[in-house]
Amino acid sequence: MFYELFLRSFADGNGDGIGDFKGATEKLDYLAELGITGIWLLPIMKSPSYHGYTVSDFYSVNPAYGTLEDAKVFLERAHTKGMKVILDMPLNHTAITHPWFLKALSGDNRHRSKYLWLEKPEWLKARRPWDNQKVWSKLNGEYYYALFGPGSPDLNYENPELREEAKRILSFWLSLGFDGFRFDAAKHIFDFSKETGKCEYQHERNIAFWKDLTEHCRKINPDAVFVSEVWDDPDIVDLYSTVFGIGFNFPLAYAIKENILVLNPGKLAEALYHVMNRYFGDEILYASGTFLTNHDMTRLLSYMKGDESKALLAFSVLTTLPGIPFIYYGEELGMKGEYNEFANEAQLEPFPWFELGSGPWQTEWKAFASNPPFSGLSYEVQGLTIHSYFSRVKNILHFRKKNSWIGNCKILEIKVKNNVLFLAVEVKGETTLFVHNFNPKAVILEKQGHTTLINGELSEFENSISLERMSSAMIK
Ligand code: ACG
């Protein structure tokens, strides 16, 4: 089970208000206590942007986060606690402040060929596939291709020198001790066609690129872990994920959230057949990176309009499905935050360790907006009571940790009866049933074996069990 960690917002170890490696190292026990066995670090390299996805030096740690030595200590401590750490690697583009881009702008041909420049005026008509934004930006009278906006010029991987550079970058971080990578924007490496002058995903070329890079990494560490970010439909995610070993299952995140929001288990069951289809067969070619939210999305409790029962049901469903769950930092506390494409900071707020909004380790790089002090949200308050949202999420995560076999199970059947979702799974010939009650009241179920509560409440009788509203259980 992975934790998606944004260093800047997590824990401050040197008192400047910005989260860093030192702080995160001190808080590894907190993650271990949650049942986390892996960490996905959002980009840590030198960058002019707060989120770090625009890199200005691929071989350095952002000084605000510490030094390479601090990163090393973090990795070593995480390893002693049995956690793997993967690094977010935005190789698709650089920052405009990257020396390569600055040299390119000043006319240096070797560096110019690392980027894409406008060759024909009609290319200016090209638009970003999902929201119709412009993809060419202008600086010093020249147009360069920048799919994610003017601050992030795309790299041109037709340039063989650049591919070798990418390998060197990966070698560098693997040798520091990282266990692998989350490859950012994996479908975007080749996404502009010079033939048509349009944005077009060239999936085959992208996959060949990633195959080359992952094979290179596996020569250094045969057990390296790779997760691809391909935000697309299941058939496209499938294409890429076999190369990486783990593919984020975006369609699953939508299926769970959309159908729990409107409490429609029937539609969820239908969607699960589609988005988890690889877990119905005997041969599982890659693992699904399962999740509910990430840093590009509205936080879970905001999505569920503050309804904790729905959010907890979503956590329960997630943890009873095969794959590798990824939990976005702060979701365990029920942090809030609405994603907004143009000011996407609301879901990246400081992790609230203290009710007061300040104290040792507390980050304060930006003001709390969606998660104000004295709202009862902090770890300080929620950590104390067994009935808090935090404690209930923790119980669900512990359930999953204890039953880690779920990660590799095969799905046999998904059924809905009287608004109850039944999920039958199998591992090594043994069948298990998960039951999720979507009703606003208890349901009586026939007793079929040993029952374990996952979330909510249940009562057991001689021949039946009563599963309370919005509760989940495992029957073995
Ligand atoms: C990654 C990071 C993100 C980062 C970048 C750039 C990339 O997680 O934080 O931005 O380094 C697209 C890309 C993703 C990208 C997101 C932000 N994420 O593919 O790689 O944008 C559609 C498209 C997707 C698109 C998504 C965005 O298909 O490609 O993601 O919309 O909303 C159904 C459909 C599905 C559709 C969804 C949603 O599910 O099946 O296809 O997805 O609905 O409509 C960071 C910053 C940015 C900055 C940049 C440089 O966050 O602000 O500009 O860095």
- Cα 62 from chain centroid (whole Å): 21
Are 181 and 216 in contact, with CB atoms under 8 Å apart?
no
Q: Which two tokens stand for residue 14?
A: 């040197």
CB of 149 closer than 6 A to ligand 1? yes
Query: Is 270 buried (19+), middle (13-18) or exposed (0-12) by CB count in 10 A?
Result: middle
pLDDT digits (tens, 9 = 90+) for 371-410: 999 999 999 999 999 999 999 999 999 999 999 999 999 9
- Mean of per-residue pLDDT scores for the chain: 97
* 208-230 mean pLDDT: 98
* 323-348 mean pLDDT: 92
pLDDT value, residue 281: 84
To test the pocket of ligand 1, the residue of 55, 56, 98, 148 to mutate (highest count of ligand atoms within 8 Å of its CB) is 148
Residue 138's identity, in one-letter code, is K
CB of 228 closer than 6 A to ligand 1? no
Write phi, then psi, for 301 (nearest 5 degrees): -70, -30
pLDDT tier, 341 (very low <50, low <70, confident <90, very high otherwise): confident
Measure 424 CA to ligand 1 centroid, in angstroms: 33
| pTM of structure | 0.97
Are 288 and 324 in contact, with CB atoms under 8 Å apart?
yes
Measure 254 CA to ligand 1 centroid, in angstroms: 14
pLDDT value, residue 469: 98
Closest residue to atom 25 of ligand 1, CA basis = 231
Q: Is residue 279 pLDDT above 80, yes or no?
A: yes
pLDDT digits (tens, 9 = 90+) for 102-146: 999 999 999 999 999 999 999 999 999 999 999 999 999 999 999
CB of 296 closer than 6 A to ligand 1? yes
Q: Is residue 258 pLDDT above 90, yes or no?
A: yes
Are 163 and 172 in contact, with CB atoms under 8 Å apart?
no
Cα-Cα-Cα-Cα torsion 291, 79, 51, 214, nearest 10 degrees, comes to -70
Radius of gyration over alpha carbons of the chain, in Å?
A: 23
Domain 408-475 fold is Immunoglobulin-like (2.60.40)
The rounded percent of the chain whose pLDDT value lies above 70 is 100
- Cα 455 from chain centroid (whole Å): 23
Q: Is residue 284 pLDDT above 90, yes or no?
A: no
pLDDT value, residue 285: 83
pLDDT value, residue 114: 98
Cα-Cα-Cα-Cα torsion 406, 411, 412, 416, nearest 10 degrees, comes to 100
CB of 152 closer than 6 A to ligand 1? yes
In CATH terms, 2-94+157-405 corresponds, of 3.40.50.920, 3.20.20.80, 3.10.129.10, 3.40.50.720, to 3.20.20.80
HSE value, Cβ hemisphere, 13 Å, CA-based, for 16: 11
- What's the sign of the alpha-carbon dihedral 326, 331, 337, 338? positive
Query: Is 447 buried (19+), middle (13-18) or exposed (0-12) by CB count in 10 A?
Result: middle
pLDDT tier, 244 (very low <50, low <70, confident <90, very high otherwise): very high
Measure 47 CA to ligand 1 centroid, in angstroms: 19
Q: How many CB atoms lie within 10 A of CB 241?
A: 25
Q: Which two tokens stand for residue 199?
A: 């944005």
CB of 171 closer than 6 A to ligand 1? no
pLDDT tier, 342 (very low <50, low <70, confident <90, very high otherwise): confident
Q: Which two tokens stand for residue 121?
A: 């005026």
pLDDT value, residue 33: 97
Rounded distance, CA 318 to CA 57, Å?
Answer: 37
Q: Which of 272, 208, 235 is nearest to 412 (CA)?
A: 272
Q: Which of 265, 180, 258 is nearest to 226 (CA)?
A: 180
* 338-365 mean pLDDT: 92
CB of 254 closer than 6 A to ligand 1? yes
Q: Is residue 282 pLDDT above 80, yes or no?
A: no
Measure 64 CA to ligand 1 centroid, in angstroms: 26
CB of 354 closer than 6 A to ligand 1? no
| Number of the ligand 1 atom closest to the C-alpha atom of 54 | 50
HSE value, Cβ hemisphere, 13 Å, CA-based, for 434: 27
Rounded distance, CA 50 to CA 140, Å?
Answer: 25
Query: So where are the chain's domains?
Result: 2-94+157-405, 99-145, 408-475
Measure 231 CA to ligand 1 centroid, in angstroms: 7
Q: Is residue 275 pLDDT above 80, yes or no?
A: yes
Closest residue to atom 24 of ligand 1, CA basis = 231
Q: Which residue in the block uniquely carries the two structure tokens 């402040």?
A: 97
To test the pocket of ligand 1, the residue of 4, 5, 53 to mutate (highest count of ligand atoms within 8 Å of its CB) is 53
Measure 95 CA to ligand 1 centroid, in angstroms: 17
Measure 83 CA to ligand 1 centroid, in angstroms: 28
Residues annotated as part of the active site: 184, 229
* 341-348 mean pLDDT: 82
Query: Is the backbone of residue 263 left (phi > 0), alpha (psi -120 to 50) or beta?
Result: left
To test the pocket of ligand 1, the residue of 296, 345, 347 to mutate (highest count of ligand atoms within 8 Å of its CB) is 296
Coil/strand/helix, residue 305: coil
